[in-house]
Chains A and B, each alone.
Chain A
Amino acid sequence: MIHDFTYLKPGTLQEALSMLSEHKDECKIICGGQSLLIVMRQGLLVTDYLIDIKGLKELSYIAYDEEGLKIGATTTHRAIETSEMIKQKYPVLVTVEKRLASIQVRNWGTIAGNLAHGDSSGDLAPTLIALNARIKLASSSGSRIVPLEEFYTGLFETAMEKDELVVEVQIPPVRPKTAVAYKKFNLIENDQAIVGVAAAVTVENGGACKEARLVLSNAGVTPIRAKSAEMVLIGKKLAGALLVKAGEAACGDADPVSDIHASEEYRRHLIKVLTERMLKQAWGQAAHS
């Protein structure tokens, strides 16, 4: 049963920001609501005001230039999934989107709603962190850009102030000799990740690893960057034993829970296996790019 609220529908971003500033202590933002309405119905979230930004067309865009990719907050998952440009420049995002929930959810749900909801089992956040993405936040007093890696501060907690709104996701161009891979493990295809691993690998001309970014999904209360696993890889050449070592390091970086879906032990095992596989996949693609 959803608790009563007053519904506010701004016509412009400016109007949304002033509504947010006025009601910041007693409001929530809804966009597609594919996550929010579930927790509202479960009574986990009660709000006096609901500000609906789904209709803000000015925030629905996908643009690419030399600075990289910019995706507006209200852009739907489906728009990302079907974008030819994203398929060319950031194919991993299309792979991720195709396995995200269902077509119905992707038709209505939005990138900013997904990221701001802050569920650590999300697929986009770890992939975007591996891609070194930033998130642009706006309030009535200005805007700021935060690396997505620093955006998540706790269980369903983000670095956003109460009067702030996500307006854009920015992804730098993928560097030469770089590839990114993501895979989640689940029992029903397209379900939430029991765990997931995103790996970005940049190789040197000699074939050694120049840079790696490894990000784990649902391996803790926030997406986790497995930095000790990354350290294992830098300067090394691809080898089975190296991948095993990186997988074990990623296990050490993870802090998974036991729940109805999997025990902590099983999650650690999956993280190890997926880390090896995703590194191998990204490394192979980067070497041949």
Chain B
Amino acid sequence: MEKQLLTLTVNDQKYELYISPKTLLVEVIRDHIGLTGTKRGCETVSCGVCTVMIDDMAVKSCSILAVQAEGRHITTVEGLEKNGKLAPIQKAFLDHGSYQCGFCTAGMLMSCAALLRENPSPTKTEIKEGIEGNICRCTGYNSIVRAVEALAKGNYKEE
């Protein structure tokens, strides 16, 4: 099938890609651009490990065609840090041990970051709702919620 030219903006950088239109956004991010922080999990919109942000909204990149993301701003987990400094959400995750095996972490970070952009001081219930689309198979949800709670209290500042 005919490939086509696609211009994508990922983490504020423009990429020109030559892809088949059936290519999924997660495939472009991982296999074509080489940003492998974003994971592939269930691939049925269930587990959330492939979560990235499109225009500051959390979405599941396993179920979006890359061509549908043209003209929009995509942020992956690699785009959270600024000038080599971790983003507040990343620091909070580190301090609260918000991961066990780590496979869900990239998706969790993106869902939490999207939540905080929409609502900088979420309640515990709102935090839980914010990560409803992300499954942690180690069941380490509490430490993730604690990290976001600490952020909501203003314990972390952007450097």
Contact = CB atoms under 8 A, between A and B. Distances in A.
B43 interface: yes
A37 B133 contact: no
A102 B64 contact: no
A30 B22 CA distance: 12
Given A5-B21, A34-B45, A54 B68 contact: yes
A6 B21 contact: yes
B123 interface: no
Contact of A4 (B20, B59, B63): B20
A279 B101 CA distance: 46
A105 B132 contact: no
A174 B30 CA distance: 48
A55 B111 CA distance: 24
A140 interface: no
Contacts of B58: 103-104, 107
A107 B57 CA distance: 7
Given A33-B63, A104-B58, A50 B21 contact: yes
A84 interface: no
Which of A6, A37, A101 lies at the interface centre, i.e. has the most chain B CB atoms within 10 A of its CB?
Answer: A37
Contact of A105 (B2, B68, B114, B133): B133
Nearest to B51: A104
A99 B82 CA distance: 35
A104 B57 CA distance: 8
Contacts of B54: 107-108
B95 interface: no
Nearest to B61: A104
Given A4-B22, A7-B21, A190 B132 contact: yes
Contact of A104 (B21, B43, B68, B133): B133
Which of A2, A3, A189, A190 lies at the interface centre, i.e. has the most chain B CB atoms within 10 A of its CB?
Answer: A2
B67 A105 contact: no
A184 to B, nearest CB: 15
A38 interface: yes
Contacts of A211: none
Interface residues on A, range: 20 to 34
Contact of A37 (B4, B59, B63, B134): B63
A52 interface: yes
A9 interface: yes
Contacts of A108: 54, 57, 59-60, 63-64
A274 to B, nearest CB: 22
Contacts of B60: 102, 104-105, 108
Contacts, number: 80
Interface in B21-70: 21-22, 24, 43-45, 48, 51, 54, 57-60, 63-65, 67-68
Interface string A171-197: 000000000000000000110000000
A103 B4 contact: no
Nearest to A31: B68
A98 B132 CA distance: 10
Nearest to A1: B22
A5 B59 contact: no
A104 B20 contact: no
A41 interface: yes
Contacts of A104: 45, 48, 51, 58-60, 111, 133
Contacts of B133: 101-105
B67 A9 contact: yes
Interface in A16-51: 30, 33-34, 37-38, 41, 50
A101 B114 CA distance: 17
Interface of A: 2-7, 9, 30, 33-34, 37-38, 41, 50, 52, 54-55, 78, 98, 101-105, 107-108, 189-190
8 contacts: A3-B22, A4-B1, A6-B1, A9-B67, A41-B44, A52-B68, A104-B45, A104-B60
Given A34-B45, A105-B133, A107-B54, 5 more contacts: A30-B68, A103-B130, A104-B51, A108-B60, A189-B132
Kindly list the 8 A-B residue pairs having the minimum CB-CB distance in the complex, ordered from nearest.
A102-B133, A7-B21, A4-B1, A107-B57, A2-B22, A104-B133, A104-B60, A37-B63
